[in-house]
């Protein structure tokens, strides 16, 4: 569904991604870990086509949804308008079908009572649910999530794990970028560690006794 082959990316001579390759198969949840500035968001943006790559190839036959690090909700639109806006632009479903889909997602995410509110009046967790509903309106096969737990407390972090697992259909693959190792090891099947733009480790979470400890050791090494 997604094949990344030897991609590299620089911004004004500053190399941000170096020779990154990975394969994402359907139904998998892949974590991208790594320190701040390591290139996680840039990699997701390249996959989505928001950034171009300098070399290498990204082959993707999936419909991609993107949940941004800072949510990027439209401040002048209500929750309901935010959720429907992009889906309406796609013009491949009737407004009736879209509204039905939106109601289902609002219910699942327990945010039905927020439809008339504006993003400025929502808590971080509520904004996140709205952002998730908006990306799921496009019924993606591949959901890219950038730091879905940033700014949330520990209890809510557990909720995000449950939420993502319950709300995405089993067929939806996910790539989740996060520096939160506890979160990533709870949700992901595989984790890539990206540091200074390079993949320095790739692990299958269930194969490791102490995946967090292992990742922490690698964080420390250059
Ligand atoms: N549009 C841009 N122009 C110039 N430099 C950029 C641009 N986007 C990202 N960078 C740089 O690329 C590097 C990687 O940034 P990126 O946002 O991908 O890191 P990250 O791993 O997502 O970090 P964080 O954990 O803080 O979100 C940083 O040094 C950043 O300043
Ligand atoms: Mg980032």
pLDDT tens for residues 53-106? 999 999 999 899 998 888 899 999 999 999 999 888 888 889 999 999 999 999
Q: Is the shortest distance between the CB of 70 and ligand 1 below 6 Å?
A: no
pLDDT above 80 (res 169) = no
At 134 the pLDDT is 93
> How much is the average pLDDT of 34-55?
95
At 221 the pLDDT is 63
CB of 38 within 8 A of CB of 194?
Answer: yes
At 69 the pLDDT is 84
Q: Is the shortest distance between the CB of 41 and ligand 1 below 6 Å?
A: yes
Tell me the CA–centroid distance for residue 75 and ligand 1, in Å: 24
Tell me the CA–centroid distance for residue 61 and ligand 1, in Å: 26
Report the C-alpha dihedral over residues 21, 211, 27, 3, rounded to 10 degrees: 0
Nearest ligand to the C-alpha of residue 180? 1
Q: Is the shortest distance between the CB of 149 and ligand 1 below 6 Å?
A: no
The single residue listed with the structure tokens 């909720």 is 159
Burial tier of 204 (Cβ tally within 10 Å: 0-12, 13-18, 19+):
exposed
> How much is the average pLDDT of 153-170?
74
Q: Is the shortest distance between the CB of 197 and ligand 1 below 6 Å?
A: no
Q: Provide φ and ψ at 205, rounded to 5°.
A: -60, -45
Report the mean per-residue pLDDT for the chain.
91
3-state SS assignment for residue 41: helix
State the first-to-last Cα distance of the chain, in angstroms, to the nearest integer: 32
Cα–Cα distance measured from residue 161 to residue 155, given in angstroms and rounded to the nearest whole number: 10
Cα–Cα distance measured from residue 162 to residue 20, given in angstroms and rounded to the nearest whole number: 30
The single residue listed with the structure tokens 């170096």 is 18
- Structural domains of the chain sorted by starting position, each given as residue range(s) with its CATH number in brackets: 1-63+141-222 (3.40.50.300), 76-139 (no CATH)
Cα–Cα distance measured from residue 50 to residue 37, given in angstroms and rounded to the nearest whole number: 18
The ligand 1 atom at the shortest distance from the C-alpha of residue 177 is: 22
Best probe residue, ligand 1, of 39, 71, 144, 198 (max atoms within 8 Å of C-beta): 39
* Biggest distance spanned by C-alpha atoms of the chain: 54
Residue 109 DSSP one-character state: T
Q: Is the shortest distance between the CB of 178 and ligand 1 below 6 Å?
A: no
User: From atom 24 of ligand 1, which residue's Cα is the shortest distance away?
Assistant: 36
User: From atom 9 of ligand 1, which residue's Cα is the shortest distance away?
Assistant: 42
E strands, the chain, where? Answer: 2-11, 14-24, 29-33, 55-60, 64-67, 142-146, 173-177, 190-195, 198-204
CB atoms within 10 A of CB 162: 11
Q: Around 99, how many Cα atoms within 13 Å sit in the side-chain half-sphere? A: 3
Cα–Cα distance measured from residue 140 to residue 123, given in angstroms and rounded to the nearest whole number: 26
The ligand 1 atom at the shortest distance from the C-alpha of residue 38 is: 21
Nearest ligand to the C-alpha of residue 36? 1
Tell me the CA–centroid distance for residue 113 and ligand 2, in Å: 31
């Amino acid at each position: 569904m997604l094949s990344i082959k030897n991609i590299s990316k620089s911004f004004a001579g500053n190399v941000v991604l170096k020779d990154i390759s990975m394969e994402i198969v359907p139904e998998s949840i892949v974590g991208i870990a790594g320190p701040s500035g390591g290139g996680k968001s840039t990699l997701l943006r390249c996959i989505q086509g928001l950034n171009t790559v300098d070399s290498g190839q990204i082959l993707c036959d999936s419909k991609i949804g993107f949940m941004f690090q800072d949510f990027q909700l439209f401040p002048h639109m209500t929750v309901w308008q935010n959720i429907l806006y992009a889906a309406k632009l796609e013009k491949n479903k009737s407004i009736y079908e879209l509204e039905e889909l939106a109601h289902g997602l609002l219910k699942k995410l327990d945010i039905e009572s927020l439809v008339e509110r504006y993003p400025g009046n929502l808590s971080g967790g509520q904004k996140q649910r709205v952002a998730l509903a908006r990306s799921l309106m496009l019924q993606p096969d591949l959901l890219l999530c950038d730091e879905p737990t940033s700014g949330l407390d520990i209890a809510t972090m557990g909720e995000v794990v449950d939420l993502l697992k319950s709300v995405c259909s089993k067929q939806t693959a996910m790539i989740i970028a996060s520096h939160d190792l506890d979160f990533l090891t709870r949700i992901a099947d595989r984790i890539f560690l990206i540091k200074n733009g390079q993949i320095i480790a790739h692990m299958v979470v269930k194969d490791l006794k102490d995946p967090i400890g292992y990742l922490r050791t690698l964080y420390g090494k250059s």
